[in-house]
Amino acid sequence: VRRVVVVGAGMAGVQTAVALREQGFTGAIGLIGAEPHQPYDRPPLSKAVLLGNAEHSAFDVDFDALSVDLRLGREAGALRAGEHTLDTPAGPVPYDVLVIATGAEPITLPGAEGVPGVHLLRTLDDAQRLRPVLARRHRIVVVGAGWIGAEFATAAREAGCEVAVVEAADRPLPGALPAEVTAPMTRWYAEAGAELLTGARVAAVERGAVVVEGGRRLPADAVVVGIGARPATRWLAGSGIELGPDGSVTADERLRTSLPDVYAVGDCASFPSGRYGRRLLVHHWDNALQGPRTVAVGIVGADTGEGGEPGEIYDPVPYFWSEQFGRFVQYAGHHGDADALVRRGDPDGPSWSVLWLLDGVLVAVLAVGRPRDLAQGRRLIEVGARIDAERAADPAVPLKDA
């Protein structure tokens, strides 16, 4: 392999370039990104950058020192896999190996597109547009009580805005967590002085107001829509690459796609999890940090031609964190198939955890203000450890000893 081209200069794309050099790849690396900004980290966009406590969140990576040819402000328009060529506004770019790392794009609210004062929160530009909105202490309606909605509501309350959050489901974080663990989170909104309307669907977004089904009209100087994201893979239409029903590039266990010499990693790619016996599409930072190593090992391994299947298998324990309403919330694993739930600590208190077990084996952990539970739990999940549910229910017993 002489030339690797990476499309998408977010966490996964940048880490792929870094990992290739770490793995000893000496060929050319091109990194092509649609956004004009120096590549940056997204989590601070709903936290420090939004509140103005940090100006930006650019990665501390010296692309020149790594001999990475960084091309910003260029959106790849098409992939011609037969010719090993990527089309960009600056002309065709040939590759020996292509890595797709185009991330995800926020889902828009039907009927709200183009209405003045309606925002999304995905990019640095979005965050910079929202900063003055917070500074003016506007009345804000947030649509969606997911991770982004909760973090945005936190920042907006901190900035002194009046905040109402409209959620169609009967509870916050409906897509991520089961009802029995989100009940205390409902109270976090009220404690922070944000109004949470559950079971509430948006009927219309007008200039200056959001109307909820049933007729209630919420005044809104600004509206922030946080109803999820989908893989940014529309540009791949016509390339012949296999996409899943969720729009993800369906990678294999080594993050190779259905096209020869094309890998996919990060928010845009799903992969088969041997650990969980299903295909996973993970939209979290840690996945965009870890996946690139597998890609780099695969590319370098295929090059050295060592016998058998090249590279390593990607089968992580998914992990993410969120900072909301003054709490540090962390989750590791996948609770879908669990048959038992164990609580550690009082969910009305400042710190508590929830463990999910399957046949006595720990499969997932949610930790609120208990980072040690998360760290220990994550390791136990990785090795498939059995734990004693009764001992684990005592928050004074370290999880690793349960």
> Which of 170/242 has CB closer to ligand FAD?
242
Amino acid at 261: D
Give me the numbers of helices (H) and strands (E) for the chain, helices first please: 8, 26
Amino acid at 223: V
Per-position DSSP letters for 69-133, written without gaps between them: EEE-S----EEEGGGTEEEETTEEEE-SEEEE---EEEPPPTTTTT-TTEE--SSHHHHHHHHHH
Which one of residues 31, 98, 102, 162 is an interface residue with ligand FAD (CB under 6 A)? 102
Q: Name residue, tokens 């690459």.
A: 241
* Residue 155 binds ligand FAD, judged by CB under 6 A: no
8 Å CB contact between 231 and 197: no
**Smallest separation (angstroms) from ligand FAD to the CB of 265:** 7
**Smallest separation (angstroms) from ligand FAD to the CB of 370:** 17
> Which of 231/357 has CB closer to ligand FAD?
231
48 SS3 class: helix
* Residue 156 binds ligand FAD, judged by CB under 6 A: no
Q: Segment contacting ligand FAD (CB under 6 A): 6-14, 91-99, 169-177, 368-376?
A: 6-14
Which one of residues 4, 6, 29, 42 is an interface residue with ligand FAD (CB under 6 A)? 42
**Token pair in block for residue 110:** 């039907």
> Which of 34/295 has CB closer to ligand FAD?
34
**Token pair in block for residue 146:** 């997911």
* Residue 230 binds ligand FAD, judged by CB under 6 A: no
**Smallest separation (angstroms) from ligand FAD to the CB of 290:** 11
* Residue 4 binds ligand FAD, judged by CB under 6 A: no
Amino acid at 217: R
Calculate the alpha carbon distances from 401 to 350, 380, 387, 397 in Å: 23, 10, 8, 7
Question: What does R_g of the chain's alpha carbons equal in angstroms?
Answer: 22
Q: Segment contacting ligand FAD (CB under 6 A): 30-38, 62-70, 188-196, 361-369?
A: 30-38
> Which of 231/347 has CB closer to ligand FAD?
231
> Which of 37/400 has CB closer to ligand FAD?
37
Q: Segment 233-262, which members bind ligand FAD (CB under 6 A)?
A: 235
Instruction: Tell me the C-alpha distance between 168 and 184, whole Å.
Output: 18
* Residue 5 binds ligand FAD, judged by CB under 6 A: no
> Which of 49/354 has CB closer to ligand FAD?
49
Which one of residues 5, 11, 124, 194 is an interface residue with ligand FAD (CB under 6 A)? 11
Please work out the total of residues on this chain that contact ligand FAD, with binding judged by CB under 6 A. Answer: 36
* Residue 3 binds ligand FAD, judged by CB under 6 A: no
* Residue 288 binds ligand FAD, judged by CB under 6 A: yes
Q: Segment 291-330, which members bind ligand FAD (CB under 6 A)?
A: 320-322
From residue 118 to residue 137, the character string flagging contacts with ligand FAD as x (rule: CB under 6 A) and all else as - is ---xx---------------
8 Å CB contact between 142 and 166: yes
Q: Name residue, tokens 């980290």.
A: 41
- For CA atoms 132, 135, 137, 142, the dihedral sign is positive
Q: Segment 59-88, which members bind ligand FAD (CB under 6 A)?
A: 75-76
SS (H, E, C) 245-293: CCCCEECCCCCECCCCCEEECHHHEEEEECCCCEEEECCCHHHHHHHHH
> Which of 283/357 has CB closer to ligand FAD?
283
158 SS3 class: helix
* Residue 32 binds ligand FAD, judged by CB under 6 A: yes
Which one of residues 21, 22, 35, 129 is an interface residue with ligand FAD (CB under 6 A)? 35
142 DSSP 8-state letter:
E
Q: Provide the binding-site residues for ligand FAD, judged by CB under 6 A.
A: 7-13, 32-35, 42-43, 45-46, 75-76, 101-104, 121-122, 148, 232, 235, 266-267, 283-286, 288, 320-322
